[in-house]
Amino acid sequence: MDIFKFAIQMEQDGEQYYRQLAARTAHPGIQGVFNQLADDEVKHAQAIQHIQQEAGAFVETTVLENAKNVFQQIKDFGGDFDISGDEESAYRQAMELEQKSISFYLDRFDQVEDPGQKGLFEKLAEEEKKHYHLISNLIDFVASPKTWLEDARFTHLDEY
């Protein structure tokens, strides 16, 4: 199995899944979050392709910072935000996909010897952890948007 080819396909599948979630979501802010996650998956695939060619530079995501702004805008502008059981199920499936990606990259980190490849797999695992936590917080947010942002601990979107 070519781990790079598999990793690229995994990232492309993730992009496609997030684009589908964005298309199914009615709220423009949440659509934006899913589209940013999809864009991150494209960047991950490109980074993997570059490291294969030994010219890789990894670009970290800003999706967490942007998501904080989206959540705050939703709170500020009010309105109801309901999540259907189908959407929640889709979000939970996205979390599972991110967890599988994390495990895959951590396993590959342990298997490769090249420092550039090790660094790439470690960074990819970190990025996927950010995605996982963001989706987890998205589920919490849509379940209870008014109290979620008012929570005095507001540590929901810490940098990971």
Domain spans, the chain: 3-150
Distances (CA, A) of 22 to 26, 37, 39, 94: 8, 10, 12, 12
Q: If DSSP codes are grouped into helix, strand and coil, which group holds residue 55?
A: coil
Q: Which CATH class is domain 3-150?
A: mainly alpha
Q: Describe the crossing of helices 115-143 and 28-52 by its angle, rounded to 10 degrees.
A: 170
Angle at 54 between CA 53 and CA 57, to 5 degrees: 105
pTM of the model: 0.70
Q: How far is CA 47 from the centre of its chain?
A: 16
CB 97 within 8 A of CB 131: no
33 neighbors 70 (Cβ within 8 angstroms)? yes
- What does the pLDDT look like over 75-103, one tens digit per residue? 554 544 455 556 778 888 889 889 999 99
Among 58-62, 68-72, 120-124, 155-159, name the most confident range. 120-124
**What is the C-alpha R_g of the chain?**
16
Average pLDDT of the chain is 76
**How confident is the model over 37-49, as a mean pLDDT?**
91
Q: Report how far residue 129's alpha carbon sits from residue 147's, in angstroms, rounded to the nearest whole number.
A: 25
**Exposed/middle/buried for residue 55 (C-beta within 10 Å: 0-12, 13-18, 19+):** exposed
Classify burial at 96, counting beta carbons within 10 Å of its beta carbon; exposed 0-12, middle 13-18, buried 19 or more.
exposed
